[in-house]
Structure 1
Amino acid sequence: MRLRLRQFRLRTGPHEHRVVQPWSPLRHTSLRDPEEYGLLMGDHDGLNRLAGLFSFAAYSRHTIVHVPLRDGVPPDEGRGELVDLVLAHPEAGLRPTKWPELRRRLVHGTPLTVRTDERRTDRDARAWLDRPGSRDVLRHTTHARTYFLIGGRDAFASAATAFAYAAGWGPRHKRVVKGHSACMTCLHGELAAGHDILRHPEIVICFKPYPPYAHFRRPGR
């Protein structure tokens, strides 16, 4: 996949951070604060680009991927505060408490185009599934209206394939032609366990076309 991004290089003390954002916003994609149970809803473009962004994050250990989601079209479903999304490896050295300071300085970016390798992403996602007892997981927290996922290559790759599945098969769901959302898959095993031993954190991924729905056609029709 070809991704158009905006790149920033910021220095805090002795550390330099590389931050990238989508060049254009994901207007019809949103994330409800998933402290325990989150809802991510998007159209084909948003879910497809999230698949690419997670794939890019999987192989960019020293890059912070920032996906602004709060400024899009507000969803008409779900409850909870709308939050942005940040993806990073531990090697990026990002502390969520320092994020507001970095975010304020994201003002003069430069264009960047990257390509993701879907075959490599699928391979590493399958490898993650084949290691049920020793999988890496994504640590997660919410701070400053931003949801942080911090982890390793294979967990990000697995999440990327979940978004690709939702983007590819969501438009084929029968309910969506009338404007209904379709629950496609979720991020569950990719997320580190929370404090509540009775409930594992989860992000449900839903597809929903944006209005006017009369112009939406399922693939093959």
Structure 2
Amino acid sequence: MEQRVRVHKAGSGGGEVRVIRPDPVPARLALRDDGHWLSMYADRDGAARLTALWALAARSARSLVHLPIRANEAPEGVMGEGEPVALDLVLVHHSLQFPTASWKQVRSRLGAGRPHTAATPDDDFPDAGAVDHGRRYHPTYRDHLGFDIAAHTLFVVGSSTAFREHGTALRGLVDEAPSHRHRHPGAGHFCVEFSSGPWSRPRTRRHVPGVLHIQYSEDWRA
């Protein structure tokens, strides 16, 4: 998978942070904090771009992958509880130990960045049958995703294994979702869900919603 990105660098805490952004930013990709859960919406192009950036995050242990999508409107007709809060998205490797509290300052220093073409193998995610979901519940397993929110941005944090194994489900938004209505007339929307930690829970220790629901929205009207 090839995609155009911009690479930014900014100083933080006496060091330097490398941030990768899609170029251009996907227009049909939106993220909201609905209070009880995190809701994301993607059309076909948005799903393909998100999946490609997810694969890039799995291979970019020293970079933050930033999707500045907070200004994007959600599709018409989707319902959230209360007043949903619009969010950006950052995918980051856990080994970077990035302090999310510094994100607002880092983001303000990014500048225009430099154009770059990033490529990841088409088979970067394992086949669904090769993912042993049961081992995620073992006490010694550490390749979980984690969620945090800072400066109107959702941080999805994980290892390369975590991003790749969850990327297998995410790829379904590209491979299966477009034909879902044809294959299953009358069925509801196509979606995937990721949880923070080894089991589903309403909120993380920092009171961030513990479930990310990503919905395919084919007939996107803002």
Q: Classify the TM-score, shorter chain.
A: 0.7 to 0.9
Amino acid at match of 1:150: V
Cα separation, partners in 2 of 1:22 and 1:93, compared to 1, 3 Å: same
**What does 1:13-52 correspond to in 2, within 5 Å?**
13-33=13-33, 36-52=36-52
- The answer on whether the counterparts of 2:5 and 2:116 sit within 8 Å (CA) in structure 1 is yes
- The reply to whether residue 120 of structure 1 matches residue 120 of structure 2 is no
Please, which of 172, 183, 191 is the counterpart of residue 179 of structure 2?
A: 172
Amino acid at match of 1:206: Q
- The reply to whether residue 81 of structure 1 matches residue 82 of structure 2 is no
- The answer on whether the counterparts of 2:128 and 2:169 sit within 8 Å (CA) in structure 1 is no
Shift of 1:74: 3.4
Shift of 1:14: 2.4
Q: What do you get for the CA RMSD once the two structures are aligned?
A: 2.7
Percent of paired sites with the same residue: 26
3-12 vs 182-191, greater mean Cα deviation: 182-191
Please, which of 112, 134, 147 is the counterpart of residue 140 of structure 1?
A: 147
Question: 2:195 is matched with which residue?
Answer: 188
Question: 1:149 is matched with which residue?
Answer: 156
Shift of 1:36: 4.4
Question: 1:217 is matched with which residue?
Answer: none
Shift of 1:73: 3.3
Cα separation, partners in 2 of 1:209 and 1:191, compared to 1, 3 Å: farther
Question: 1:216 is matched with which residue?
Answer: none
Please, which of 212, 215, 218 is the counterpart of residue 203 of structure 1?
A: 212
- The reply to whether residue 108 of structure 1 matches residue 106 of structure 2 is no
Question: Which consecutive unaligned segments of at least 5 residues does structure 1 have?
Answer: 213-221
Question: 1:95 is matched with which residue?
Answer: 99
Cα separation, partners in 2 of 1:128 and 1:5, compared to 1, 3 Å: farther
- The answer on whether the counterparts of 2:41 and 2:74 sit within 8 Å (CA) in structure 1 is no
2-side partners of 1:3 and 1:102: how far apart?
24
2-side partners of 1:150 and 1:60: how far apart?
12
- The reply to whether residue 56 of structure 1 matches residue 56 of structure 2 is yes
Amino acid at match of 1:58: A
Shift of 1:210: 4.2
Give the SS at the match of 1:119.
coil
TM-score normalised by the chain length of structure 1: 0.81
Shift of 1:111: 0.6
Amino acid at match of 2:7: Q
1-side partners of 2:15 and 2:95: how far apart?
12
2-side partners of 1:37 and 1:142: how far apart?
12
1-side partners of 2:159 and 2:127: how far apart?
15
Question: Which consecutive unaligned segments of at least 5 residues does structure 2 have?
Answer: none
Larger helix share, 1 or 2: 1
